[in-house]
Structure 1
């Protein structure tokens, strides 16, 4: 039934600004909404609603960086009827406000964009007991540092509980990971297939990883281009890595 999910994902990407509902997506696939929800979540790792939200906010990020449209206009274009709800959702899932996200690309014209600020260290009452280490692999030539973070969701959104970066595929360590269940996401950019082609995203996800006590988890993950099943990257910290300069 994977073809039904692929059809739904195509519908979401092509009509994200519309008020698409679970019932409508299930009807277009000609299955019950409960069966559709179960299959969609198994294939993509998220519900149709979360996938739709990720696609909308990814388009909002693009418009913020490439146009002079106001936040209100962008909210309407990506399917939100309220600027306030759009701003709250964007800030929660991207990690910075829409205005701040736009500012990141405008502070120094012509220079690499600055990444979003790293999250502050957890407050004292939070027990940070775990360490996650691993080795990153890829068959692609990586042009940027690989950013690795521990997130509480399979969608790469918000700010990580712990993050680090490596200069190329290799060993990484995430220290002081709070107790809980986490997904380990990695992001980098690879050279395009032909001269003049824009760098392509490389991603990897491992998890869920349960961190309890003074545990050390060792992972082995491979960076590769995301396929159609993967929701867009929302986290500003992971997405706004400095762009490579021409050799």
Structure 2
């Protein structure tokens, strides 16, 4: 089961610019599309379509930061037929439009995260306490927030930044179902490189009448993790140094 999903993820990461369909991916990994849809969601937490969309936007972020290509050109390069559709999806996923992201990633301009609950006083909202730990020493701030899905994208419903590992508090977390995400950069042992660490809890049911306390353990991303799309202030220039997870277990003959 996992091998088929790993092959599917590799196809998505290598052929994201193509008009990939679930049928095409399933055919390439020699399983039925219904079986692939079920096991892919079990392993990665999302559907192949959502994983493909995340990879496309992640690649667009890289191109915006490292090239001077026009947004329309990048849109086409990552598999979009319409620049307008690309810009809308990028803005929805990253939190800011492509042109603003390019400026932010190069240290130009400012970006402030605004949660959907900011400025509200609602008795049905909750205070969520927890502890964040990590397998390596942080070299950036630690970003923690509640989001509506398993991919770290879009606008958080509640958001905080921690400078140290340990206890944290999220204020005004809306009641209902959410996903708790955390991310930071850490130092690699005996190396000047950094690595991206993430943690996800969810789906979680937030109840204003029940005290909640959680533990987040930040670990390096692996092949089954969707890319981090949300643009955190002060994070993007550093995050580009963190390499993407590899696929060492796949045979060299896979095409």
Q: Same fold (TM over 0.5)?
A: yes
The answer to whether structure 1 residue 159 and structure 2 residue 151 are counterparts is: no
Q: Is 1:52 aligned with 2:47? A: no
Which secondary structure does the structure 2 equivalent of 1:55 belong to? helix
- Write out per-residue CA displacement over residues 57-111 of structure 1, whole angstroms, 9 at most, x where no aligned residue: 0000011111000000000000001000000100111111101111213454xxx
Deviation, 1:114, is 5.0
Where does structure 1 lack aligned partners over 5 or more consecutive residues?
none
The answer for unaligned runs of 5 or more in structure 2 is 240-255
Distance 2:227 2:238 in 1: 18
Instruction: Name the counterpart of 2:128.
Output: 132
2:198 to 196, 199, 203: 203
Report whether the alignment pairs 1:219 with 2:214: yes
Q: Hey, what does 1:145 align to over in structure 2?
A: 141
Tell me the equivalent position of 2:176.
Answer: 180
Report the equivalent of 1:63. Answer: 63
Distance (Å, rounded) in 1 between the aligned partners of 2:93 and 2:234: 12
Tell me by how many angstroms 1:215 deviates: 3.4
Q: CA deviation at 1:243?
A: 3.9
| Structure 2: distance between partners of 1:238 and 1:155 | 18
Distance 1:76 1:175, change over 3 A: same
What secondary structure is seen at the aligned counterpart in 2 of 1:54? helix
TM-score norm. by structure 1 comes to: 0.90
8 A Cα contact 1:131 1:214, kept in partner = no
The counterpart of 1:189, out of the listed 185, 192, 202, is 185
SS state at 1:147 partner: strand
Which residue in 1 is equivalent to 2:84? 84
Q: Mapping of 1:100-139 within 5 angstroms? A: 100-106=100-106, 108=108, 114-119=110-115, 121-122=117-118, 128-139=124-135
- Counterpart Cα distance in 1 of 2:235 and 2:111: 5
Query: Scaled by the length of structure 2, what TM-score is found?
Result: 0.87
Following superposition, the deviation at residue 139 of structure 1 comes to 2.3
Structure-2 residue corresponding to 1:15: 15
Deviates more, 1:25-34 or 1:81-90: 25-34
